[in-house]
Chain A
Amino acid sequence: MGENVITIKDLKKVYGLQNAVNGLNLNVPKGSVYGFLGRNGAGKTTTIKILLGLLSAKSGEVNVLGYNPKNEKEAVEIRKRTGYVSENQKMYDNMKIKEIISFTKSFYKTWDDKLAAEFLKRFNLDEKKKLSELSRGMYAQVALLLALAFKPELLVLDEPTGSLDAIVRRDFLESVVSLIQEEGRTVFFSSHQINEVERVSDWVGIIEAGKLLVSAPIDELKTKTKRIRSVFKEKAPEVNFGGIICKKADGRELVTIVENFGEEILSKIKKEKPESLDVYDMNLEEIFVAYAGGRI
Protein backbone atom coordinates (compact mmCIF):
# COMPACT_ATOMS: atom_id res chain seq x y z
CA MET A 1 0.00 0.00 0.00
CA GLY A 2 2.65 2.51 -0.94
CA GLU A 3 0.39 4.63 -3.09
CA ASN A 4 -1.88 7.34 -1.77
CA VAL A 5 -5.22 8.09 -3.35
CA ILE A 6 -5.60 11.36 -1.50
CA THR A 7 -2.78 13.61 -0.37
CA ILE A 8 -3.27 16.92 1.33
CA LYS A 9 -0.44 19.25 2.31
CA ASP A 10 -0.84 22.23 4.59
CA LEU A 11 -4.40 22.92 3.53
CA LYS A 12 -6.04 26.13 4.74
CA LYS A 13 -9.56 27.40 4.32
CA VAL A 14 -10.99 30.49 5.95
CA TYR A 15 -14.62 31.46 6.36
CA GLY A 16 -14.72 35.11 7.28
CA LEU A 17 -12.48 35.28 10.33
CA GLN A 18 -12.68 31.62 11.11
CA ASN A 19 -10.07 29.05 10.13
CA ALA A 20 -12.19 26.09 9.05
CA VAL A 21 -9.16 24.11 7.94
CA ASN A 22 -5.91 25.21 9.45
CA GLY A 23 -2.82 23.53 8.04
CA LEU A 24 -4.23 20.07 7.44
CA ASN A 25 -1.96 17.25 6.30
CA LEU A 26 -3.51 13.96 5.29
CA ASN A 27 -2.66 10.87 3.26
CA VAL A 28 -5.17 8.20 2.36
CA PRO A 29 -3.53 4.94 1.22
CA LYS A 30 -4.93 3.17 -1.80
CA GLY A 31 -7.28 0.33 -0.92
CA SER A 32 -7.87 1.56 2.60
CA VAL A 33 -11.12 2.39 4.28
CA TYR A 34 -10.20 5.60 5.99
CA GLY A 35 -12.38 6.78 8.85
CA PHE A 36 -12.19 10.54 9.18
CA LEU A 37 -13.24 11.38 12.72
CA GLY A 38 -13.92 14.76 14.17
CA ARG A 39 -16.41 16.72 16.20
CA ASN A 40 -19.01 18.93 14.57
CA GLY A 41 -17.26 21.91 13.11
CA ALA A 42 -13.83 20.30 13.16
CA GLY A 43 -13.47 20.78 9.41
CA LYS A 44 -14.52 17.40 8.00
CA THR A 45 -17.10 18.53 5.49
CA THR A 46 -15.03 21.51 4.38
CA THR A 47 -12.09 19.20 3.71
CA ILE A 48 -14.26 16.80 1.73
CA LYS A 49 -15.74 19.57 -0.37
CA ILE A 50 -12.28 20.84 -1.20
CA LEU A 51 -11.24 17.32 -2.23
CA LEU A 52 -14.06 17.18 -4.74
CA GLY A 53 -13.48 20.68 -6.04
CA LEU A 54 -16.78 21.89 -4.62
CA LEU A 55 -15.02 24.52 -2.52
CA SER A 56 -11.75 26.29 -3.12
CA ALA A 57 -9.03 26.43 -0.51
CA LYS A 58 -7.06 29.46 0.60
CA SER A 59 -3.76 27.62 0.28
CA GLY A 60 -2.18 24.21 0.29
CA GLU A 61 -1.71 21.29 -2.07
CA VAL A 62 -4.36 18.70 -2.75
CA ASN A 63 -4.20 15.65 -4.95
CA VAL A 64 -7.01 13.17 -5.49
CA LEU A 65 -6.51 10.17 -7.78
CA GLY A 66 -3.68 12.05 -9.45
CA TYR A 67 -5.72 15.20 -10.12
CA ASN A 68 -5.72 18.64 -8.60
CA PRO A 69 -9.23 19.74 -7.63
CA LYS A 70 -8.23 23.42 -7.83
CA ASN A 71 -8.23 23.09 -11.57
CA GLU A 72 -11.82 23.00 -12.80
CA LYS A 73 -11.15 20.42 -15.54
CA GLU A 74 -9.27 18.13 -13.21
CA ALA A 75 -12.00 18.50 -10.60
CA VAL A 76 -14.42 17.08 -13.17
CA GLU A 77 -12.12 14.09 -13.60
CA ILE A 78 -12.10 13.58 -9.84
CA ARG A 79 -15.89 13.70 -9.66
CA LYS A 80 -16.17 11.24 -12.55
CA ARG A 81 -14.13 8.73 -10.60
CA THR A 82 -15.49 9.35 -7.15
CA GLY A 83 -18.76 8.25 -5.62
CA TYR A 84 -19.96 10.81 -3.11
CA VAL A 85 -22.70 10.56 -0.53
CA SER A 86 -23.30 13.30 2.00
CA GLU A 87 -25.65 13.53 4.92
CA ASN A 88 -28.09 15.97 3.43
CA GLN A 89 -27.71 15.12 -0.17
CA LYS A 90 -30.06 16.91 -2.55
CA MET A 91 -31.29 15.11 -5.63
CA TYR A 92 -33.99 15.93 -8.15
CA ASP A 93 -36.97 15.16 -5.98
CA ASN A 94 -39.48 15.24 -8.79
CA MET A 95 -37.86 12.30 -10.48
CA LYS A 96 -38.85 8.72 -9.97
CA ILE A 97 -36.12 6.37 -8.82
CA LYS A 98 -36.09 4.85 -12.29
CA GLU A 99 -35.61 8.27 -13.85
CA ILE A 100 -32.81 9.40 -11.60
CA ILE A 101 -31.02 6.14 -12.28
CA SER A 102 -31.10 6.57 -16.05
CA PHE A 103 -30.28 10.25 -15.67
CA THR A 104 -27.22 9.53 -13.52
CA LYS A 105 -26.18 6.62 -15.68
CA SER A 106 -25.80 8.91 -18.67
CA PHE A 107 -22.82 10.61 -17.00
CA TYR A 108 -20.76 7.50 -16.44
CA LYS A 109 -19.20 5.09 -18.91
CA THR A 110 -18.54 2.60 -16.16
CA TRP A 111 -22.17 2.34 -15.00
CA ASP A 112 -23.14 -1.24 -14.11
CA ASP A 113 -26.84 -2.00 -14.67
CA LYS A 114 -26.63 -5.32 -12.92
CA LEU A 115 -25.14 -3.74 -9.82
CA ALA A 116 -27.81 -1.03 -9.80
CA ALA A 117 -30.52 -3.68 -10.04
CA GLU A 118 -28.90 -5.61 -7.19
CA PHE A 119 -28.98 -2.58 -4.94
CA LEU A 120 -32.60 -1.85 -5.79
CA LYS A 121 -33.45 -5.36 -4.75
CA ARG A 122 -31.34 -5.38 -1.64
CA PHE A 123 -32.73 -2.08 -0.42
CA ASN A 124 -36.25 -3.07 -1.38
CA LEU A 125 -36.74 0.09 -3.40
CA ASP A 126 -39.69 0.54 -5.72
CA GLU A 127 -38.28 2.25 -8.80
CA LYS A 128 -41.63 3.73 -9.73
CA LYS A 129 -41.66 5.88 -6.61
CA LYS A 130 -40.80 9.55 -6.70
CA LEU A 131 -37.83 10.66 -4.62
CA SER A 132 -40.05 13.12 -2.79
CA GLU A 133 -42.15 10.20 -1.55
CA LEU A 134 -39.26 8.36 0.06
CA SER A 135 -38.35 8.13 3.72
CA ARG A 136 -34.97 9.54 4.74
CA GLY A 137 -33.50 6.08 4.90
CA MET A 138 -34.67 5.16 1.41
CA TYR A 139 -33.50 8.51 0.13
CA ALA A 140 -30.02 7.82 1.47
CA GLN A 141 -30.09 4.38 -0.08
CA VAL A 142 -30.85 5.84 -3.48
CA ALA A 143 -27.95 8.24 -3.02
CA LEU A 144 -25.68 5.32 -2.17
CA LEU A 145 -26.91 3.32 -5.16
CA LEU A 146 -26.13 6.23 -7.47
CA ALA A 147 -22.70 6.61 -5.94
CA LEU A 148 -21.81 2.93 -6.20
CA ALA A 149 -23.35 1.70 -9.44
CA PHE A 150 -20.70 3.29 -11.64
CA LYS A 151 -18.03 1.43 -9.70
CA PRO A 152 -15.98 4.41 -8.57
CA GLU A 153 -12.30 4.08 -7.68
CA LEU A 154 -12.91 6.21 -4.64
CA LEU A 155 -15.96 6.47 -2.48
CA VAL A 156 -16.34 9.54 -0.28
CA LEU A 157 -18.97 9.36 2.42
CA ASP A 158 -19.68 12.44 4.49
CA GLU A 159 -21.64 11.46 7.60
CA PRO A 160 -23.59 9.02 5.45
CA THR A 161 -25.57 7.40 8.23
CA GLY A 162 -26.35 10.53 10.20
CA SER A 163 -30.07 10.47 9.54
CA LEU A 164 -30.60 6.72 9.24
CA ASP A 165 -32.31 4.46 11.73
CA ALA A 166 -30.48 1.46 13.14
CA ILE A 167 -31.76 -1.04 10.61
CA VAL A 168 -31.17 1.06 7.53
CA ARG A 169 -27.76 1.97 8.88
CA ARG A 170 -26.97 -1.72 9.11
CA ASP A 171 -27.93 -2.31 5.48
CA PHE A 172 -25.98 0.73 4.47
CA LEU A 173 -22.82 -0.46 6.21
CA GLU A 174 -23.26 -3.89 4.73
CA SER A 175 -23.29 -2.35 1.27
CA VAL A 176 -20.17 -0.41 2.07
CA VAL A 177 -18.48 -3.60 3.27
CA SER A 178 -19.47 -5.46 0.13
CA LEU A 179 -18.04 -2.63 -1.88
CA ILE A 180 -14.73 -2.84 -0.07
CA GLN A 181 -14.48 -6.47 -1.09
CA GLU A 182 -13.61 -5.32 -4.56
CA GLU A 183 -9.93 -4.82 -4.66
CA GLY A 184 -8.24 -1.51 -5.06
CA ARG A 185 -11.30 0.39 -3.96
CA THR A 186 -10.67 3.19 -1.49
CA VAL A 187 -13.28 4.58 0.87
CA PHE A 188 -12.95 7.89 2.69
CA PHE A 189 -15.54 8.02 5.36
CA SER A 190 -16.33 10.89 7.70
CA SER A 191 -18.45 10.24 10.72
CA HIS A 192 -18.93 10.84 14.36
CA GLN A 193 -20.46 7.41 14.81
CA ILE A 194 -17.26 6.04 16.23
CA ASN A 195 -18.55 2.48 16.53
CA GLU A 196 -19.26 2.13 12.89
CA VAL A 197 -16.01 3.75 11.89
CA GLU A 198 -14.23 1.20 13.98
CA ARG A 199 -16.01 -1.72 12.36
CA VAL A 200 -15.60 -0.64 8.80
CA SER A 201 -12.30 1.24 8.67
CA ASP A 202 -8.76 0.04 8.67
CA TRP A 203 -7.27 3.52 8.95
CA VAL A 204 -8.39 6.42 11.10
CA GLY A 205 -7.55 10.08 11.21
CA ILE A 206 -8.72 12.44 13.90
CA ILE A 207 -9.28 16.07 12.96
CA GLU A 208 -9.76 18.86 15.47
CA ALA A 209 -9.89 22.59 14.83
CA GLY A 210 -8.92 22.10 11.20
CA LYS A 211 -5.77 20.07 11.93
CA LEU A 212 -5.12 16.36 11.74
CA LEU A 213 -4.02 15.21 15.20
CA VAL A 214 -3.27 11.60 14.38
CA SER A 215 -3.50 9.24 11.42
CA ALA A 216 -2.76 5.53 11.71
CA PRO A 217 -3.97 2.02 10.97
CA ILE A 218 -6.73 1.41 13.44
CA ASP A 219 -5.16 -1.70 15.00
CA GLU A 220 -1.91 0.14 15.53
CA LEU A 221 -3.70 3.07 17.12
CA LYS A 222 -5.53 0.75 19.48
CA THR A 223 -2.45 -1.23 20.39
CA LYS A 224 -0.21 1.75 20.96
CA THR A 225 -2.51 4.16 22.74
CA LYS A 226 -2.80 3.29 26.41
CA ARG A 227 -4.08 4.74 29.60
CA ILE A 228 -1.59 4.45 32.43
CA ARG A 229 -2.80 4.79 35.95
CA SER A 230 -0.15 5.26 38.61
CA VAL A 231 -0.57 5.83 42.31
CA PHE A 232 2.16 7.44 44.40
CA LYS A 233 2.98 7.42 48.06
CA GLU A 234 2.39 11.12 48.33
CA LYS A 235 1.20 13.74 45.90
CA ALA A 236 1.45 12.62 42.27
CA PRO A 237 4.40 14.27 40.44
CA GLU A 238 4.20 16.52 37.40
CA VAL A 239 5.32 14.53 34.40
CA ASN A 240 6.12 15.93 31.01
CA PHE A 241 7.56 13.92 28.17
CA GLY A 242 6.95 13.33 24.50
CA GLY A 243 4.08 11.00 23.72
CA ILE A 244 1.61 12.23 26.32
CA ILE A 245 -1.76 12.93 24.71
CA CYS A 246 -3.31 14.10 27.93
CA LYS A 247 -2.88 13.68 31.66
CA LYS A 248 -4.57 14.33 34.93
CA ALA A 249 -3.09 14.37 38.40
CA ASP A 250 -5.48 14.06 41.27
CA GLY A 251 -4.09 13.66 44.78
CA ARG A 252 -1.88 10.58 44.83
CA GLU A 253 -3.12 9.40 41.48
CA LEU A 254 -1.74 10.24 38.06
CA VAL A 255 -3.48 9.17 34.87
CA THR A 256 -1.72 9.67 31.56
CA ILE A 257 -2.84 8.72 28.09
CA VAL A 258 0.10 8.07 25.82
CA GLU A 259 0.77 7.29 22.20
CA ASN A 260 3.49 4.87 21.09
CA PHE A 261 3.20 2.90 24.29
CA GLY A 262 6.20 0.76 25.12
CA GLU A 263 9.01 0.14 27.56
CA GLU A 264 10.46 3.58 26.98
CA ILE A 265 7.28 5.34 28.03
CA LEU A 266 6.82 3.00 30.97
CA SER A 267 10.31 3.63 32.25
CA LYS A 268 9.61 7.38 32.30
CA ILE A 269 6.72 6.84 34.65
CA LYS A 270 8.55 4.20 36.68
CA LYS A 271 11.34 6.71 37.25
CA GLU A 272 8.89 8.66 39.42
CA LYS A 273 8.64 5.57 41.64
CA PRO A 274 4.89 4.97 41.77
CA GLU A 275 3.54 2.54 44.33
CA SER A 276 1.39 0.93 41.70
CA LEU A 277 1.10 1.16 37.99
CA ASP A 278 -1.59 -0.25 35.73
CA VAL A 279 -1.88 -0.08 31.96
CA TYR A 280 -5.28 -0.16 30.28
CA ASP A 281 -6.43 -0.73 26.72
CA MET A 282 -8.60 1.98 25.24
CA ASN A 283 -11.42 1.78 22.76
CA LEU A 284 -11.61 4.08 19.80
CA GLU A 285 -14.12 6.37 21.43
CA GLU A 286 -11.85 6.90 24.43
CA ILE A 287 -8.91 7.48 22.13
CA PHE A 288 -10.94 10.01 20.18
CA VAL A 289 -11.97 11.85 23.33
CA ALA A 290 -8.35 11.96 24.49
CA TYR A 291 -7.10 13.43 21.22
CA ALA A 292 -9.97 15.69 20.25
CA GLY A 293 -11.15 16.69 23.69
CA GLY A 294 -7.97 16.40 25.74
CA ARG A 295 -9.92 14.44 28.34
CA ILE A 296 -8.86 11.45 30.34
Chain B
Amino acid sequence: MYIEVNPNSGLPIFLQIKNQVKRMIAAGMLKKDEPVTSVRQLALELRVNPNTIAKAYRELELEGFLYTQRGRGVFVAGKSDKTSTLSKDERIKSISSLADQIAVEAFHLGLSKEDIEKLLKEKFKKLEK
Protein backbone atom coordinates (compact mmCIF):
# COMPACT_ATOMS: atom_id res chain seq x y z
CA MET B 1 0.00 0.00 0.00
CA TYR B 2 1.78 3.12 -1.18
CA ILE B 3 0.72 6.32 0.49
CA GLU B 4 2.30 9.67 -0.01
CA VAL B 5 2.32 12.33 2.63
CA ASN B 6 2.93 15.87 1.59
CA PRO B 7 3.59 18.26 4.46
CA ASN B 8 3.48 21.16 2.01
CA SER B 9 -0.18 20.59 1.47
CA GLY B 10 -2.67 22.61 3.46
CA LEU B 11 -4.58 19.42 4.14
CA PRO B 12 -3.97 17.79 7.55
CA ILE B 13 -1.95 14.58 7.17
CA PHE B 14 -4.72 12.34 8.49
CA LEU B 15 -6.99 13.66 5.73
CA GLN B 16 -4.33 13.07 3.09
CA ILE B 17 -4.09 9.45 4.21
CA LYS B 18 -7.84 9.07 4.38
CA ASN B 19 -8.32 10.43 0.89
CA GLN B 20 -5.70 8.16 -0.58
CA VAL B 21 -7.12 5.03 1.04
CA LYS B 22 -10.56 5.96 -0.25
CA ARG B 23 -9.12 6.49 -3.67
CA MET B 24 -7.35 3.15 -3.63
CA ILE B 25 -10.55 1.41 -2.65
CA ALA B 26 -12.52 3.20 -5.33
CA ALA B 27 -9.93 2.31 -7.96
CA GLY B 28 -9.84 -1.32 -6.90
CA MET B 29 -6.22 -1.16 -5.80
CA LEU B 30 -7.44 -2.31 -2.42
CA LYS B 31 -10.02 -5.09 -2.57
CA LYS B 32 -12.69 -6.15 -0.17
CA ASP B 33 -11.38 -8.06 2.87
CA GLU B 34 -7.81 -7.29 1.95
CA PRO B 35 -5.70 -6.17 4.93
CA VAL B 36 -4.34 -2.63 4.99
CA THR B 37 -0.88 -1.84 6.38
CA SER B 38 -0.97 -1.74 10.17
CA VAL B 39 -0.89 1.58 11.98
CA ARG B 40 2.52 0.74 13.44
CA GLN B 41 4.04 -0.21 10.15
CA LEU B 42 2.60 2.70 8.19
CA ALA B 43 3.71 5.15 10.88
CA LEU B 44 7.27 3.91 10.51
CA GLU B 45 7.19 3.89 6.74
CA LEU B 46 5.84 7.40 6.49
CA ARG B 47 7.64 8.66 9.60
CA VAL B 48 4.34 9.99 10.76
CA ASN B 49 2.91 10.04 14.25
CA PRO B 50 0.99 6.77 14.78
CA ASN B 51 -1.90 8.71 16.30
CA THR B 52 -2.34 10.46 12.98
CA ILE B 53 -2.60 7.16 11.12
CA ALA B 54 -4.90 5.76 13.78
CA LYS B 55 -7.14 8.80 13.40
CA ALA B 56 -7.35 8.32 9.63
CA TYR B 57 -8.18 4.62 10.05
CA ARG B 58 -10.70 5.33 12.78
CA GLU B 59 -12.59 7.77 10.58
CA LEU B 60 -12.42 5.42 7.61
CA GLU B 61 -13.88 2.74 9.81
CA LEU B 62 -16.65 5.01 11.05
CA GLU B 63 -17.48 5.89 7.48
CA GLY B 64 -17.59 2.22 6.57
CA PHE B 65 -14.50 1.89 4.39
CA LEU B 66 -12.49 -0.27 6.76
CA TYR B 67 -13.21 -2.73 9.53
CA THR B 68 -11.08 -4.03 12.39
CA GLN B 69 -10.77 -7.61 13.48
CA ARG B 70 -9.39 -7.83 16.97
CA GLY B 71 -5.88 -9.15 16.97
CA ARG B 72 -5.85 -9.64 13.22
CA GLY B 73 -5.69 -6.18 11.84
CA VAL B 74 -7.59 -3.72 9.73
CA PHE B 75 -9.33 -4.76 6.51
CA VAL B 76 -11.06 -3.19 3.56
CA ALA B 77 -14.82 -3.22 3.87
CA GLY B 78 -15.36 -2.83 0.17
CA LYS B 79 -17.82 -0.38 -1.24
CA SER B 80 -19.96 0.06 1.77
CA ASP B 81 -23.47 1.41 1.98
CA LYS B 82 -22.58 2.86 5.35
CA THR B 83 -21.42 5.93 3.47
CA SER B 84 -25.10 6.73 3.22
CA THR B 85 -25.12 7.54 6.94
CA LEU B 86 -24.23 10.95 5.57
CA SER B 87 -27.21 12.62 3.98
CA LYS B 88 -27.04 13.23 0.27
CA ASP B 89 -26.72 16.96 0.88
CA GLU B 90 -23.72 16.38 3.09
CA ARG B 91 -22.11 14.12 0.57
CA ILE B 92 -22.64 16.63 -2.19
CA LYS B 93 -21.21 19.35 0.00
CA SER B 94 -18.06 17.35 0.61
CA ILE B 95 -17.38 17.02 -3.10
CA SER B 96 -18.47 20.52 -4.06
CA SER B 97 -15.07 22.21 -3.70
CA LEU B 98 -13.57 19.69 -6.11
CA ALA B 99 -16.35 20.40 -8.57
CA ASP B 100 -15.57 24.05 -8.12
CA GLN B 101 -11.96 23.51 -9.11
CA ILE B 102 -12.96 21.51 -12.15
CA ALA B 103 -15.39 24.17 -13.29
CA VAL B 104 -12.81 26.94 -12.90
CA GLU B 105 -10.10 25.03 -14.72
CA ALA B 106 -12.50 24.04 -17.49
CA PHE B 107 -13.58 27.65 -17.89
CA HIS B 108 -10.00 28.83 -18.33
CA LEU B 109 -9.11 25.99 -20.66
CA GLY B 110 -12.13 26.78 -22.78
CA LEU B 111 -13.75 23.39 -22.22
CA SER B 112 -17.49 23.01 -22.36
CA LYS B 113 -19.88 21.44 -19.91
CA GLU B 114 -20.27 18.58 -22.38
CA ASP B 115 -16.49 17.96 -22.47
CA ILE B 116 -16.41 17.67 -18.69
CA GLU B 117 -19.50 15.45 -18.61
CA LYS B 118 -17.86 13.13 -21.09
CA LEU B 119 -14.64 13.05 -19.09
CA LEU B 120 -16.45 12.29 -15.84
CA LYS B 121 -18.46 9.53 -17.51
CA GLU B 122 -15.22 7.89 -18.62
CA LYS B 123 -13.79 8.12 -15.12
CA PHE B 124 -16.90 6.56 -13.64
CA LYS B 125 -16.73 3.75 -16.15
CA LYS B 126 -13.17 3.00 -15.03
CA LEU B 127 -14.24 2.74 -11.40
CA GLU B 128 -17.21 0.52 -12.14
CA LYS B 129 -15.00 -2.07 -13.79
Enumerate chain A interface residues (CB-CB to B < 8 A).
33, 170, 173-174, 177-178, 180-181, 194-196, 198-202, 218-219, 222-223, 280-286
Establish whether residues B47 and A174, one from each chain, have CB atoms under 8 Å apart when the complex forms: yes
Interface of A is mostly: helix
The residue in chain B whose Cβ has the minimal distance to the Cβ of A171 is B47
We find that the number of chain B residues with CB closer than 8 angstroms to chain A is 21
Establish whether residues B48 and A283, one from each chain, have CB atoms under 8 Å apart when the complex forms: no
Establish whether residues A219 and B12, one from each chain, have CB atoms under 8 Å apart when the complex forms: yes
Establish whether residues A283 and B43, one from each chain, have CB atoms under 8 Å apart when the complex forms: no
- Asked if B95 lies at the interface with its beta carbon under 8 angstroms from chain A, I say no
Give the distance in Å from the alpha carbon of A174 to the alpha carbon of B40 in the complex. Answer: 11
Q: Which 8 A-B pairs have the closest CB atoms?
A: A281-B10, A219-B12, A198-B7, A195-B7, A173-B47, A222-B12, A199-B48, A283-B10
CB neighbours (8 Å) of B52 from chain A are 202, 219
- Asked if B94 lies at the interface with its beta carbon under 8 angstroms from chain A, I say no
15 contacts between A and B (CB under 8 A): A173-B47, A177-B50, A178-B44, A180-B43, A180-B50, A199-B48, A201-B49, A218-B12, A219-B14, A219-B15, A280-B10, A282-B10, A283-B10, A284-B7, A285-B8
The residue in chain A whose Cβ has the minimal distance to the Cβ of B5 is A199
5 more A-B contacts (CB under 8 A) besides A177-B50, A219-B14? A194-B7, A199-B13, A199-B49, A283-B9, A283-B10
With contact pairs A181-B50, A200-B49, A202-B52 given, residues A174 and B11 touching in the complex (Cβ less than 8 Å): no
Establish whether residues B44 and A180, one from each chain, have CB atoms under 8 Å apart when the complex forms: no
The residue in chain B whose Cβ has the minimal distance to the Cβ of A197 is B7
CB neighbours (8 Å) of B14 from chain A are 219
Give the distance in Å from the alpha carbon of A115 to the alpha carbon of B13 in the complex. Answer: 30
- Asked if B1 lies at the interface with its beta carbon under 8 angstroms from chain A, I say no
- Asked if B80 lies at the interface with its beta carbon under 8 angstroms from chain A, I say no
Mark contacts of B39-68 with chain A using CB atoms, 8 A cut-off: 1 yes-contact digit, 0 otherwise. 010011011111110010000000000000
Give the distance in Å from the alpha carbon of A181 to the alpha carbon of B11 in the complex. Answer: 24
Give the distance in Å from the alpha carbon of A196 to the alpha carbon of B13 in the complex. Answer: 12
CB distance from B55 to the nearest CB of A (A): 8
Give the distance in Å from the alpha carbon of A284 to the alpha carbon of B11 in the complex. Answer: 10
CB neighbours (8 Å) of B13 from chain A are 198-199, 219
The residue in chain B whose Cβ has the minimal distance to the Cβ of A222 is B12
Give the distance in Å from the alpha carbon of A286 to the alpha carbon of B9 in the complex. Answer: 10
CB distance from A40 to the nearest CB of B (A): 21
Establish whether residues A200 and B47, one from each chain, have CB atoms under 8 Å apart when the complex forms: yes
Give the distance in Å from the alpha carbon of A110 to the alpha carbon of B15 in the complex. Answer: 38
Establish whether residues B12 and A199, one from each chain, have CB atoms under 8 Å apart when the complex forms: no
Establish whether residues B10 and A181, one from each chain, have CB atoms under 8 Å apart when the complex forms: no
Give the distance in Å from the alpha carbon of A173 to the alpha carbon of B5 in the complex. Answer: 15
The residue in chain B whose Cβ has the minimal distance to the Cβ of A176 is B47
